[in-house]
Amino acid sequence: MTDPIAPALAGQGTTAPSATPVPITSSAAPGIVPTAAPSTPSLEWLTGAPEDITGFVQNKGWKSPVDAIEGYRNLEKHMGVPADKLLRLPDWDKADKTELDQFFGKLGRPADPKGYEINVPDGTPADYADAARIKFHELGLTAKQAKALVDWNNEFATTAGAKSQEAYKQAVAQQDAELRKEWGQAYDQEIGSAKNAAAALGIKPEEIDKLEQSLGFAGLMKVMANIGKRIGEDTFVSGGGSNTGAMTPAGAKARVQQLQGDKEWTAKYLSGNIEARAEMERLMRFAYPS
């Protein structure tokens, strides 16, 4: 009997076996065909690129420029803004002026201090606006931030000034009421003395204002009234005689005590002297006003 295998081994008599490899099953996992190793993407489109770039692309698995562009677009969507709008926070303790200038510039700081719009209220020192512009630029404020800060400051100062003026008016009104009580019927006369003293001494209104801020309304009026009397206005005549002008309660009481110590005047009063009794009545009206 002829061996059918021999001719095949000798290359005769039978057809050559197929070139297609027969799957080899694993003894560990019968029937499972091993997966082929992944193919490396073609990098012809990166010809001439630095090695680190080529490696980066390989790691990303990008097979063409389209993949790279798609990746960048997805990154931009994730970040929410284009690359030129991204801002890197500086290390505040180590950043130099150049780095800070770039950071503030991206935030919107004007290139020059003159780029700030600063409106100041009347009466503000002329150099305040220029000094503020320099400081705002140094702090890295945007033009919008600087304007908002200036507007707030002006509004605050205006409100504070109005409150201060109102408080001052109330203080003056209170002091004036106390003066009217202290001076009684001599109030107008004392105020007149104060005004006459200011006029006689040539004190200007702005100087009066400064004195009032220092002494207070009541204090200033008392000082000026005393000066007015000393330079000849409403002089009080003591040691006999009488004062025909209005008197303060304190002045009237002092005059009463003086007359009560005068034996001659007391004798006249007790004897019913019309002039003595009229003077005492007048003094009592001033000393104890209703």
pLDDT at 135: 94
Type of residue found at 6:
A
DSSP assignment letter at 89: P
Task: Give, in degrees to the nearest 5, the angle at Cα 148 between 146 and 153.
Answer: 95
Task: Give, in degrees to the nearest 5, the angle at Cα 176 between 171 and 182.
Answer: 130
Selection from 67, 105, 101, 71 nearest residue 85 by Cα:
105
pLDDT at 223: 92
Residue ranges of domains in the chain: 166-235, 237-290
CA pair distance 212, 192, nearest whole angstrom: 17
pLDDT at 276: 77
Helix (H, G, I), strand (E, B) or coil at 20: coil
Q: Where are the alpha helices (DSSP H) in the chain?
A: 5-10, 51-60, 65-79, 97-107, 128-139, 143-183, 187-201, 205-230, 249-260, 263-270, 274-287
pLDDT at 3: 52
Type of residue found at 176:
D
pLDDT at 67: 85
CA pair distance 21, 18, nearest whole angstrom: 8
Report the Cα–Cα distance between both ends of the chain, in Å, rounded: 163
Tokens in use for 175?
A: 């002091």
57, 68 Cβ separation under 8 angstroms: yes
140, 99 Cβ separation under 8 angstroms: no
184, 248 Cβ separation under 8 angstroms: yes
Answering whether pTM is above 0.85, one says no
Cα 132 to Cα 77, 97, 107, distances in angstroms = 40, 20, 19
pLDDT at 241: 41
Selection from 184, 199, 188, 254 nearest residue 232 by Cα:
199
pLDDT at 10: 47
Q: What is the mean pLDDT of each run of 10 residues along the chain (290 residues)?
A: 46 48 50 55 81 88 87 73 69 82 85 89 86 92 92 91 93 94 89 87 89 91 87 48 67 85 83 80 81
pLDDT at 232: 61
pLDDT at 37: 53
- Distant-in-sequence, close-in-space partners of 254: CB < 8 Å, separation ≥ 6: none
Query: 218: number of CA atoms within 13 Å, CB side?
Result: 14
pLDDT at 130: 92
